[in-house]
Chains A and B, each alone.
Chain A
Amino acid sequence: MIAMSTRHILLGLLATGPSHGYDLKRRHDERFPQARPLAYGQVYTTLQRLVRDGLAAVEGTDSDGGPERTTYRATDEGTRELSRWAGEIAPPAPFVANEIFAKVVVAILSGGDPAAYLSAQRAAHMERMRELTAVKAAKGADLATVLSADYALNHLDADLRWMSTTAARLTTLTAEVDAA
């Protein structure tokens, strides 16, 4: 699985102008509300690596009345790298290695109850989809939140459609696995 690239996302946030670690973390968590919030340590380590690789540079320090903070900016090379990454096609991921699929097959192999598992999993998926829909449909939801909820919803929906088809096919599928 291709992990979401924190370094490229930080470079992307720096594309709007110099910023410091705390601000980058805050903006990251706002822009990607469905992603895991970034740890401060991860932000600073990533920024140091970007500087080491010549993709970002220290702009200066500002204290703004509080503790002194280092401000970073993207370098020209960083901007080129961001542009290259943004245009790169992501490989269609081999989602058949998905845990839900594996559990259904294992349930069939071990004489379990795959239909009951699928039904319970469907209920959990629907619950999460209701939460995401509520976030998206809330008055004043910003575009980043809506896009992120859309993305998650469409993937959950794909799982659900697969689960529905599988539930309908279970009789045939069980016969095939048993015969193998």
Chain B
Amino acid sequence: MSRPVPLLSASGLTKTHGRTPALRGASVDLHAGEILAVTGASGSGKSTLLHCLAGIVRPDGGSVSYDGRRLEDLPEKRLSELRRTEFGVVFQFGQLIPELTALDNVALPLLLAGTDRARARVRAGEWLERFGVRGQEDLRPGEMSGGQAQRTALARALVTGPKVVFADEPTGALDSLAGEQVMTALLHTVRESGTAVLLITHDAQVAAYADREIQLRDGAVAPLGVTA
């Protein structure tokens, strides 16, 4: 059976930080609507892979294509636009803007994309509700629990309707129950919206929310099992 063309595809990625090689020929395909877990030991290149796939960092070698476009061919301005409109990103620490309320944090990507303020706030409120952050719209990040902050960060990542969400250890700073709430909220939301997720985690219980797993070892994808 032939699989459909992947939405996002990387082949032979290499990247060196200073003199340390982080990626040594990593290749990965992400299909539309798929949740893919990327696991591996610390230093195996997981985060660098995410940064290259999301167009945050340009690899030294290899190629990344998204929806038929090669990222390395895009000028910075187009790449930045692609990141803003098609991709959402969540990190281990949500990196919310501390001065803004939950509602304004979520509305921000819409405002940057030109949506008017009133509509942006309404949509942000709807997304916060989908992630179970109700009644906390006016809290600032410092006043939220870790789980609330991460669910707010997820709402912010999804509010523009991206095709791909990149999540780098989204539950890494949470206890297991808060982590479970974040993952369940993410799972149900992306299943409804058909958003693909590249999920980086060192935790097998988090990886088990994904449809599939690849393991990185020394900057390349390790063969999984014997069922290649």
Contacts and interface: CB of A to CB of B under 8 A. Distances in A.
A132 interface: yes
Contact of A157 (B184, B204, B224, B226): B204
Contacts of A130: 208-211
Given A116-B226, A123-B224, A133 B188 contact: no
Interface string B214-227: 00000000111111
Given A137-B184, A139-B188, A126 B208 contact: yes
B223 A126 contact: no
Nearest to A128: B208
Interface in A111-145: 116, 119-120, 122-126, 129-130, 132-133, 137, 139
Given A119-B223, A130-B210, A168-B41, A157 B205 contact: yes
Contacts of A137: 183-184, 187-188, 209
Main secondary structure of the interface of A (DSSP, over half): helix
Contacts of B209: 130, 133, 137
Given A137-B184, A160-B204, A168-B41, A123 B225 contact: yes
Interface string B198-214: 00000011011111010
B95 to A, nearest CB: 26
Contacts of A132: 208
B218 to A, nearest CB: 12
B169 to A, nearest CB: 16
Contacts of A160: 204
B208 A129 contact: yes
Contacts of B184: 137
Contacts of B222: 119
A133 B208 contact: yes
Contacts of A154: 205
A11 interface: no
Contacts of A125: 204
Contacts of A10: none
B221 to A, nearest CB: 13
A153 interface: yes
Nearest to B202: A164
A125 B209 CA distance: 13
Interface of B: 41, 183-184, 187-188, 204-205, 207-211, 213, 222-227
Nearest first, the 10 closest Cβ-Cβ pairs linking A and B are A123-B225, A129-B208, A133-B208, A120-B225, A120-B226, A160-B204, A130-B208, A137-B184, A123-B224, A157-B204
